[in-house]
Amino acid sequence: MRRKREPLDAEGQRVYARLVADVARELASALAREGKLGTITRAELARRLGRDKAFVSRKLSGGENMELRTIAAFLAALGYEMDVKAARVAAAPGEGRNIFSEVPTSLPSTIRVSPDPRPNTPTATTTPVVKVHFPHAA
């Protein structure tokens, strides 16, 4: 009996769609590289997998789900391995974004733009110059 799949919310569906497309694109790129080298064709890949060419085309189009076993079979048939990494794209659930943690700890030397007719010709100053204007309340 098959287990019930975990439901995906909108963000989970977005991540899933990107993952499927990324894997299909990587497999198709590997096949294209090998095809240029003359080491394997789509038909040969299908033969190595024990499937038909249409199966290979469907899977590489990114429109069909591939189990990890299928991905591993494709990679092995091509003589490839795949590196996988996870990267945070947003604050963790329940965490707000702290803009103060993103401020650099040291500021670079202040650069003053010279009145030279050439646009944006910077000249370094030895002392930082900061001008702040607070209009008077009426």
Domain containing residue 61: CATH number: 1.10.260
Question: How confident is the model at residue 106, as a pLDDT?
Answer: 56
* pLDDT digits 0-9 by tens, 68-112: 999 999 999 999 999 888 888 776 666 665 555 555 555 555 545
Whether the predicted pLDDT of 10 surpasses 60: yes
Its domain, for residue 32, covers: 11-78
- Whether 56 is covered by a domain: the verdict is yes
- Whether 126 is covered by a domain: the verdict is no
- Whether 127 is covered by a domain: the verdict is no
Tokens of 109: 């030397």
- How does the average pLDDT of the chain come out, rounded? 77
Question: How confident is the model at residue 131, as a pLDDT?
Answer: 53
- Whether 49 is covered by a domain: the verdict is yes
Q: What is the pTM of this model?
A: 0.59
Counted domains in the chain: 1
Question: What is the rounded distance in angstroms from the CA atom of residue 27 to the CA atom of residue 37?
Answer: 15
- Whether 28 is covered by a domain: the verdict is yes
Q: At what angle do helices 42-49 and 10-37 cross, to 10 degrees?
A: 110
- Whether 138 is covered by a domain: the verdict is no
- Whether 63 is covered by a domain: the verdict is yes
- Whether 24 is covered by a domain: the verdict is yes
